[in-house]
Structure 1
């Protein structure tokens, strides 16, 4: 009876571990994308600062529309601010998920130390 409870506890912890790992990967991908977006906005903003008398165009789908330089610079600055905010939020989520993963690993380690026979059963199932 206790053996079955330990197996169920293991499978529950395993499910939580898989879920937390998937969420962590998703957050890391979102973080990478936001960092790319931020870098692109920064580089575009720097290019816009270089010259004063150049016509600037905004891409809208397949067409380009003449826009004042100030409007484009404001848009890029706003993208930078939005990216910074999103990156900070995603970083907080990542730290939380990493703590959650460490807690799940500790729970799993504790379960396997309490019941060494369970580790043998699990190893025989996976082979």
Structure 2
């Protein structure tokens, strides 16, 4: 009787561990993806900043290119950077809990 209860408890703990390991891997993958997004936004901003203020820049939208002022592209990249950092912080919090 005691052996059966121990076995059942062990199987429940094992199933829980497998589930948590899967969730952790998923969060780690999401963090890696967001870190890549953050890095791209940062590097793009670093390339845009030295340009004169009224420079027109090209924005890639799938297979098309759109000509926009530098300020619009900078704003979008800054927002992507902030969003990525917030998401990474949220995922780190989620991974710790």
Q: TM-score range by the shorter chain?
A: over 0.9
Which structure's CA Rg is the greater one? Answer: 1
Structure 2 unmatched runs, 5+: none
* Backbone CA RMSD of aligned residues: 1.1
Structure 1: 4+ residue segments shifted above 3 A: none
Q: Which SS does the other structure have where 2:65 is aligned?
A: strand
Structure having the larger proportion of residues in strand: 2
Residue 19 (structure 2) aligns with = 19
Higher-RCO chain (CA-CA 8 Å, sequence separation at least 6): 1
Task: String of CA shifts for 1:44-91, please: whole Å, max 9, x gaps.
Answer: 011011222643111111110101110000000000110111011001
Contact 2:41 2:80 in 1 (8 A): yes
Residue 10 (structure 2) aligns with = 10
Structure 1-normalised TM-score?
A: 0.72
The count of residues paired between Structure 1 and Structure 2 equals 96
Structure 1 unmatched runs, 5+: 97-127
Structure having the larger proportion of residues in helix: 1
Structure 2-normalised TM-score?
A: 0.93
Residue 82 (structure 2) aligns with = 81
Residue 50 (structure 2) aligns with = 50
